[in-house]
Structure 1
Amino acid sequence: MSASSFPDFAPNNTPFKPLAAAADGSNFTYESLHNRVPHILTDVINDFYHAVGSLSGAGSEATAAEGKALISELSKLKHEMVTNKPLTPLEDDQCGDIPTWNAWLEKYFATATWYSAPFLTWETYMYRRIATIFRRSKYWAKYDFFASKKEATFRASMVAVARLCSRVDRLTRESVAAKDNETKMHLAFVEMLQASLWGNQTDLSMFPDLSSEKLEEMQARISSGENNSKIVSNDTDRIWAIVSRLKGGRVDIVLDNSGFELLQDVLLAHWLVAVGYASKVVFHPKRVPWYVSDVTNADFHWLVDAAVSPELIGDKGMSPEDEAALKRLGATWKSLLASGVWELKDELFWTGPYGYRYLPTEGKDVWENDLVKSDVVIFKGDLNYRKLIYDLEWPLDTPFVDAIGPIAADPRAPAIVALRTSKCDTITGVSSEKVEELFRIQKNWMYSGEYGVIQLSPGRWCSKQ
């Protein structure tokens, strides 16, 4: 097979069945729609209820009154979900993408209900609709209804954050000193790339009740490399063959979760610039709050500010050496942002309805003006992976390159890297033998969040490998 084996197809006319809630309630999609996602929406309502209730002072009456109206809209959304109502058009919040959303719904899913719509359709619709509820308001338009959760998990792990930054600071200095030693550089790259992969386990849309203790355990496994045997499809060496030839190249990172995962992505970018492989890194966050813990521009700057001044968010327990390293890296990141070596671009396509195989058509501005100019584009996390391959019941041994179709086939395409811990039952690029072994070990391996992939579509680098 090749990328042309699955040419462009309509979102409602796919070569394999899309993931959808099973009528008998037997699959993960049903569990997500019936329990997990309503729980997330309930948390949004409860947290916002407390935010509204805590208002005081002159002029707060109007803000509180509007807040109560927004709670009613959120409750209406939840009611529509749990009672299997149709997916209704989104109200325009002047962000710029609602006409695209509504045209897409009307063209492809005009009769869809919550339980009949594909998983990727109803889930992305829900998060975009939550955003419209707030963005259309007068007093709450800039309110990030997930911010407190995102910041709380990071605050709870500052000691581990500082320790990790100290480790990467030392590793980076060692790499710079040994940049002519390919073996050492290769090992350092493997450590940085796999840390970025496993940082994806700290996902608040999958683990909404993640405790600080559980987070510390996850971080310990990530830092120790304990999870690396659970990479079920691993193109690390092929990726290294491309990255190691870059001399001041451009790397783009399509971000996923804020907090600890974002930190791992920032540290990877820090290393790539410090050792000279990249002279430009473009980060792609989300423009609206998305999937509980996804990165917004504000989240990115908050993390950098927290590194520069950890005392402002609570730094008890850090060693002086670790705190100094954290602050040193934070100052470097501030400088990289100020100089334009690092850049943030929050294009609306990332929170739009289309999968990424449609980038050359529906996301043409992003594809033409950004991604094809890059050497390597790293897509982080579960949702970005699902949007890359499209959320289908693929034969699991389908090559990753084939599944992403048009963006692999474009002769201008950059190397596309997917770093994903699997939290949904769609995946490609896993050998039949490996699949059999995994199902023997753990029946729910595809959506447990315990297994990961590092996959590559070499793009225009194909002939150079």
Structure 2
Amino acid sequence: MDHDPKLPPYSTGDPTSFAYSTSRERWPIIITQAIDDVYRTVGSLPDNSDEDKQKQAEGKKILGELAKLKYELQHNRALTPLRDDGFDDVKVYNDELARRGNLTWLDGPWLFIECYLFRRMSTYFTTSQHWKTYDVFARQKIKSFRSSRAAVLELAARYRELITQLQQSKTHDAEAERLLFAEMCDVCLWGNASDLSLLLVLTYDTISQIQGSEARRAAEKNILVNDLPQVYEHLKSLKDQKIAERRVDIVLDNAGFELFVDLVLAGYLLASGLATHVVLHPKSIPWFVSDVLSTDFAALLNALASPRAFFETPSDEDQLRGVTPAPLEEDHVAQLDFLFADWSRQHAEGRLVLRPNRAWTGPGSFWRLPAEQPELVEDLKQGVLTIFKGDLNYRKLVGDVAWDPTTPFSEALGPLGPGSGLNILTLRTCKADVVVGLKPGEDEELRKTEGGGGDTGARKWAWNGKWAVVSFSRGT
């Protein structure tokens, strides 16, 4: 708290904030889905042994705790201290809760309360004997990735073609290389399996053609801040200088198709020589429903290793509807095999690394990291670029407070801005109120658009993921 920006935080009690509807509508749904998931798992457990019965009993206890949590939330009860599950961050949460006073669910700082929600849900499992590592959101993540089949197959084909070109040719058109970097980052930014238009120009042969240019303009029209040219020049300059170690870190956001495109970006950075190593930073506990855990990385690679078993096996929903997924074509299997071999090799060689850290699931802003997690910051400074994916990471970077939207991004980073030694890039589609780096008058114009908020006092245009910001800050 002492290191956070000294501006009002967005509050669950403010009717003009997205926090208001999130806390009253979305949070109860999340808890209900968790209850449904645990109920299904408990119902599928055998009861042949004492251990089976103990696991069933623990699962029923967790169901009761989740139901109580939902009741407390919906009736705006006071937040209570977290139960000690043996991890150091429990004290961090409880100390901050004590300092903040008598907080209630529906009238307090959005960022802290939302982080507290998921950390508290985690304790129900980590304090058990048989459910310690259970991911209550795993089913949803797997379902999401399975439903992205068409986009996965399309992007896998483009990726194999691109990587093959990079491996076989030593010279490329400089403008095509710059555009290709922007295209890869755009796909990673949106991470939207339903928009295949973003996947059509990922080759040197098409990137500079008219249709490629048109696709790029369409992809960029809703990016309000776009610092990708500076980022490319930064990485290209280091490559041209033949700097031996050029590590890029990616602080991950969502699992499923978004993790898939994150790995596509990582593989491209390595193959193009814009990075010599990529470090992926997943979460350590089930977090904000869809965030990446280390187990999600393993599950994705397993799906690619056995694509027929994954994509052709009917899901529970398929079985209920009597639907059988279409078989994969041989070309599709070959393309997924290529991805699995490429990413597995990079991982085995230490060029693609996973490095979870509980700092990413702390209760507050990343302004606190230099004071509270100095070892993590020092480690990130060993790299040449840290990419923060997604809306929540952006909120944490800038403190989730009411900045004037024209505030420079580097200023809103506070101690992680210039002078920190960290080169930071955010790839964020806007799904919350806070935004910085806009031109004067731009926020006002966006509020005037359909559904933008008008004169209600709400920045509704920033709630739906239609707009994006790609912001870069040099650490020097």
TM-score, length basis structure 1: 0.89
Q: How does 1:68-217 map to 2 (within 5 A)?
A: 68-107=60-99, 109-176=100-167, 177=169, 179-199=171-191, 216=193
AA aligned opposite 1:47? D
Q: Deviation of residue 417 (structure 1)?
A: 0.2
Contact 2:406 2:438 in 1 (8 A): yes
Q: Deviation of residue 414 (structure 1)?
A: 2.5
1:390 and 2:406 matched: no
Distance 1:76 1:138, change over 3 A: same
Contact 1:81 1:114 in 2 (8 A): yes
Q: Deviation of residue 27 (structure 1)?
A: 3.2
Q: Deviation of residue 172 (structure 1)?
A: 2.8
Superposition RMSD in Å: 1.8
5+ residue gaps in structure 2?
A: 201-214, 240-244, 313-325, 453-459
AA aligned opposite 1:438? L
Q: Deviation of residue 320 (structure 1)?
A: 2.8
1:440 and 2:456 matched: no
Contact 1:246 1:278 in 2 (8 A): no
After superposition, the C-alpha distances for 1:157-215 in whole angstroms (9 at most, x for unaligned) are 2232021111122123334525443211111101101111001x5xxxxxxxxxxxxxx
SS, match of residue 373 in structure 1 = coil
1:410 and 2:410 matched: no
SS, match of residue 251 in structure 1 = strand
Q: Deviation of residue 416 (structure 1)?
A: 0.2
Contact 2:308 2:328 in 1 (8 A): no
CA distance in 2, matches of 1:87, 1:261: 33
SS, match of residue 283 in structure 1 = strand
SS, match of residue 329 in structure 1 = helix
Q: How does 1:278-427 map to 2 (within 5 A)?
A: 278-315=275-312, 316-368=326-378, 370-411=379-420, 413-427=421-435
Q: Deviation of residue 317 (structure 1)?
A: 4.8
Query: Which gives a bigger RCO, structure 1 or 2 (Cα 8 Å, sep 6+)?
Result: 1
Q: Deviation of residue 26 (structure 1)?
A: 4.2
SS, match of residue 449 in structure 1 = coil
CA distance in 2, matches of 1:335, 1:255: 21
Worse overlay, 127-136 or 151-160: 151-160
Which residue of structure 2 aligns with residue 204 of structure 1? none
- Residue 229 (structure 1) aligned to one of 221, 230, 253: 221
After superposition, the C-alpha distances for 1:416-452 in whole angstroms (9 at most, x for unaligned) are 0000001111111111232233222241210111111
Q: Which has the larger radius of gyration?
A: 2
Contact 2:82 2:120 in 1 (8 A): yes
After superposition, the C-alpha distances for 1:62-102 in whole angstroms (9 at most, x for unaligned) are 21111111111111111111111222111111233212222
- Residue 246 (structure 1) aligned to one of 216, 238, 259: 238
1:47 and 2:37 matched: yes
AA aligned opposite 1:379? F
Contact 1:250 1:279 in 2 (8 A): yes
Q: Deviation of residue 386 (structure 1)?
A: 0.3
Contact 1:249 1:280 in 2 (8 A): yes
The alignment covers a number of residue pairs equal to 431
AA aligned opposite 2:256? G
Q: Deviation of residue 9 (structure 1)?
A: 5.0
Which residue of structure 2 aligns with residue 259 of structure 1? 256
Contact 1:162 1:318 in 2 (8 A): no
Contact 2:279 2:354 in 1 (8 A): yes
CA distance in 2, matches of 1:407, 1:73: 38
Once the two structures are aligned, what percentage of the paired residues are identical? 37
AA aligned opposite 1:18? P
Distance 1:139 1:9, change over 3 A: closer
AA aligned opposite 1:194? D
CA distance in 1, matches of 2:195, 2:305: 21
AA aligned opposite 2:6? P
4+ residue runs over 4 A deviation: 8-11
Which residue of structure 1 aligns with residue 53 of structure 2? 61
TM-score, length basis structure 2: 0.87
Q: Deviation of residue 271 (structure 1)?
A: 0.5
Distance 1:149 1:278, change over 3 A: same
SS, match of residue 343 in structure 1 = strand
- Residue 220 (structure 1) aligned to one of 182, 196, 199: 196
Which residue of structure 1 aligns with residue 205 of structure 2? none
- Residue 471 (structure 2) aligned to one of 448, 455, 458: 455
SS, match of residue 17 in structure 1 = coil
SS, match of residue 427 in structure 2 = strand
CA distance in 1, matches of 2:2, 2:436: 18
AA aligned opposite 1:404? L
After superposition, the C-alpha distances for 1:233-279 in whole angstroms (9 at most, x for unaligned) are 11011111111123351000000000111111100000010111211
SS, match of residue 417 in structure 1 = strand
